[in-house]
Chain A
Amino acid sequence: MKHVVTIRRKALAASEEHARTLRSRFADARALVLNLISSPGSGKTTLLERTVDRLADRCRLAVIEGDVATERDADRIRALGVPAHQVLTGGACHLDARQIETALETADLLPADILFIENVGNLICPTTYDLGEDFKVALLSVTEGDDKPFKYPAIFSRAEVTVITKSDLLPHVPFDMAAVTEHVASLNPGGTLLVLSSTTGDGMDAWCNLLLGRLADKRRS
């Protein structure tokens, strides 16, 4: 017997269902959750280390690290006394909601004020996968070239916050900050752009204030 079934269902419905469950769980836990996305080497882990230095005595922090191999990143965070869980993706180039659920079951990460999810280093694939986060943060270091926003439009148009990292290296690289600012604004008119250096601390106050502000907003709503 021939059957034709008409269905209007998102192809990634199963993943999205997991993300919805996570979002609800994070809301119940009153935790602000960020999904950090960037190329490998943009400074995600270092930014988290310096953020921990500045905020750990004011907020309860937790981190989920995503990597193809090694526990190096989670080890770095744990060394600072903050709970961190390493997801090893077994070759996959992005985290997905199911892995975040498993992480929460496996490690004592909640309750937390801010949960950082450091995604696998990759400017493309993580963009599409909802992890239940409050917002995505895209990192772009000044050594990567100022053409990247237009070359990778998906992430820069979807990340509510773009952080330009390694600003201390600006004198040594041909990075047109004005152009990048304009390009990111054209892809993401409502987004926020920050420029900072984890090494010198420049711009870190604005980053920390943004986090605290967003946490307060979430708790108010």
Chain B
Amino acid sequence: MHEMGIALEIYRTCRETVSQHGNGRLQHVKIAVGELAAVEPDLLAFGWEAVIADTIDDGATLEIEWCRADQRCPACDSAKERSEGSWLRLCPDCGTPLEVRGGDELDLLQISFETDDEDMSTTVGESA
């Protein structure tokens, strides 16, 4: 997977958001990574460090929320476990294709940054 390229795209989106609010510096970025997204969190963290190094946002922290996939067999009507890192698609008990929900997230969730204005208030808002 492309952890470096992904880190770069995340950073670009963050930078764009910060720029919309004036001169600012990134402080903290929260993302969701699904276990089936084929993204290795350690490599992504490493890529993040490399991307922000020597920029105005150097030091900004990346928080990764790990999202598990939910697998259910419609025939057995029960959740099915699989071993860590496996990509089981058929029910180990009856062989029916499993319904898989989630686990493929790769989402930017929240960006915290500081701008150079005088106003001391904190704002929380939605961004498209």
Q: Residues on A close to B: CB < 8 A? A: 1-15, 94, 124-125, 127-128, 153-154, 157, 185-190
Q: Decide: A11 near B31, CB < 8 A? Known: A3-B112, A124-B1.
A: yes
Residues of the A chain whose Cβ atoms lie less than 8 Å from the Cβ of B120: 1
Q: Decide: A189 near B13, CB < 8 A? Known: A5-B110, A12-B6, A125-B2.
A: no
Q: Quick check: A5 and B125 within 8 Å, CB to CB?
A: yes
Which of B38, B112, B122 touches A127 (beta carbons < 8 Å)? B38
Smallest Cβ-Cβ distance to B113: which chain A residue: A3
Give the contact-size bracket for chain B. 35 or more
New A-B pairs, 4, CB < 8 Å, besides A3-B114, A4-B122, A188-B89: A11-B9, A11-B106, A128-B1, A187-B87
A136 to nearest B CB, angstroms?
A: 14
Question: How many Å lie between the Cα of A1 and that of B109 in the bound state?
Answer: 20
Q: Quick check: A4 and B87 within 8 Å, CB to CB?
A: no
Q: Quick check: A11 and B108 within 8 Å, CB to CB?
A: yes
B21 at the interface (CB under 8 A from A): yes
For the complex of A and B, 6 pairs with smallest distance between CB atoms? A153-B87, A189-B97, A7-B127, A11-B106, A186-B90, A5-B111
Which of A2, A11, A154 touches B122 (beta carbons < 8 Å)? A2
Query: Which residues of B from 73 to 124 have beta carbons under 8 Å from A?
Result: 86-90, 97, 106-115, 117-124
Chain A binding surface, main DSSP class: mixed
Q: Quick check: A3 and B127 within 8 Å, CB to CB?
A: no
Report how many A-B pairs have Cβ atoms within 8 Å: 105
Q: Residues on B close to A: CB < 8 A? A: 1-2, 6, 9-10, 12-13, 17, 21, 24, 27, 31, 38, 86-90, 97, 106-115, 117-128
Q: Quick check: B10 and A11 within 8 Å, CB to CB?
A: yes
Smallest Cβ-Cβ distance to B10: which chain A residue: A11
Residues of the B chain whose Cβ atoms lie less than 8 Å from the Cβ of A15: 9
Question: How many Å lie between the Cα of A111 and that of B110 in the bound state?
Answer: 43
Question: How many Å lie between the Cα of A11 and that of B8 in the bound state?
Answer: 10
Residues of the A chain whose Cβ atoms lie less than 8 Å from the Cβ of B13: 9, 11, 13-14
Smallest Cβ-Cβ distance to B22: which chain A residue: A1
Smallest Cβ-Cβ distance to B98: which chain A residue: A189
A-B contact pairs, 28 of them (CB 8 A): A1-B114, A1-B118, A1-B123, A2-B114, A2-B122, A3-B24, A3-B111, A3-B112, A3-B123, A4-B110, A4-B111, A4-B123, A5-B17, A5-B113, A6-B124, A9-B128, A11-B31, A11-B108, A13-B13, A94-B2, A125-B2, A128-B1, A128-B2, A153-B86, A154-B38, A157-B89, A186-B89, A186-B90
Smallest Cβ-Cβ distance to A129: which chain B residue: B2
Smallest Cβ-Cβ distance to B126: which chain A residue: A6
Residues of the A chain whose Cβ atoms lie less than 8 Å from the Cβ of B31: 11
Residues of the A chain whose Cβ atoms lie less than 8 Å from the Cβ of B90: 185-186, 189
Question: How many Å lie between the Cα of A35 and that of B117 in the bound state?
Answer: 49
